[in-house]
Structure 1
Amino acid sequence: MWKAGLILLASATGAQAAGCNGAALQFVESAPRDRFELSIGADVLRSVTVDLRGSKGQLIFDTANGGTGVEVFQPLRDEGGTQAGEVADGAEVIKVALRDARAGGRAAFSIDVDDRLTASELGQIRVTGGEMAGASATFETEGGEMLVAVFDGNNRAVHCP
């Protein structure tokens, strides 16, 4: 049974745009830090896991200078409502704990995401929606349920009950 909701941004994006009170995660390509933005919908969430392994862009988290990624790198950083930890350079999966993630609240975190395509639309340093497509987000509810959603070509992962 679905217990938690995550609605993104004040505009009608994410789950609201899909016509449900479900869970959603929005990736925002930006410089120098890429962001994942969320706002809590129906219940309490413990964490969100971002898994880039299925992404069309063969995406990775670029967290260290001279590592797997290209040029700019940024470690995981709390942008409000998360508990940022260490992420290995080149990792494809991260789990971010949420602080006090109750209905109506907001949270965000930032990190650098790069693609590994040889012919990338905007270069490996920037990620397009088509490159994020196929990655997944798993939302863990306070009750331990795992809600899985796959990112679409608009950089959104939406889970509707």
Structure 2
Amino acid sequence: MFNVRLPIVASALIFAGQFAYANVEVIFVESAPKDRFVLTNTSQCLLKNLTVNLDLSSSVGKLIFDTTSTGAGVEVFQPFEVRKGNLKLASSEKVKDGDSTLSLVIESIAANDSVSFTIDVDDTLTQSELGNIRVSGSEIKNASIDVNVQGQQASAATFNNKGKALVSLSSC
């Protein structure tokens, strides 16, 4: 018996391959003494001229950045530091102690590659799962991140209870 569906399926696969979608996966990694954010381009295309806005203010743990020995943070502090990739702070040279937002400019992220930075993140809850100086995945839940690529309208996502967010961008 001849299968008539085969040409239709093959055509659909060829057509779908012409439109590659770009996604950026963002992972928060709790670590002492420096916490880490890793942004991975999970697509098959180069992403250029990204603006990334990270907002911790709506997180379950009411998270803040602890960048100095004085101020809103608890005990251990760490300033913003690029670990991998060509990225920099968009608004100023440093993140202020107690801030809950930061903006990054990323020159590019190759397909299946990542960029990352470290900074100290503390929660501000009176009762917290791991104490104020350590942040659990559930405490970063609902924090938001948006990514703007080459001046196009930003796409946004929120972190889940495992410290991950997936920002779905337009096609490559």
After TM superposition, the score normalised by the length of structure 1 is 0.81
CA distance in structure 1 between the aligned counterparts of 2:111 and 2:161, rounded to whole angstroms:
27
| Gaps in structure 2 of 5+ consecutive residues | 1-20
Letter in 2 for 1:94: L
Residue 61 of structure 2 corresponds to: 57
4+ runs deviating over 3 angstroms: none
Matched, 1:77 2:78: no
Q: Secondary structure at the match of 2:139?
A: helix
CA deviation after TM superposition for structure 1 residue 88, in Å: 0.7
CA deviation after TM superposition for structure 1 residue 21, in Å: 5.2
Deviations 1:77-99 (A, max 9, x none): 00011224311110010011113
The structure richer in helix per residue is: 2
Residue 136 of structure 1 corresponds to: 144
After TM superposition, the score normalised by the length of structure 2 is 0.76
Q: Secondary structure at the match of 1:65?
A: coil
Q: Is the 8 A contact 1:134 1:150 kept in 2?
A: yes
The structure richer in strand per residue is: 2
Letter in 2 for 1:25: V
Q: Is the 8 A contact 2:63 2:122 kept in 1?
A: yes
Q: Is the 8 A contact 1:56 1:134 kept in 2?
A: yes
Residue 34 of structure 1 corresponds to: 35
Where does 1:1-161 land on structure 2 (aligned, <5 Å)?
22-40=23-41, 41=43, 42-45=45-48, 46-81=50-85, 82-84=87-89, 85-160=93-168
CA deviation after TM superposition for structure 1 residue 100, in Å: 2.8
CA distance in structure 2 between the aligned counterparts of 1:130 and 1:107, rounded to whole angstroms:
23
Which protein is bigger by CA-based radius of gyration?
2
CA RMSD for the aligned pairs? Answer: 1.7
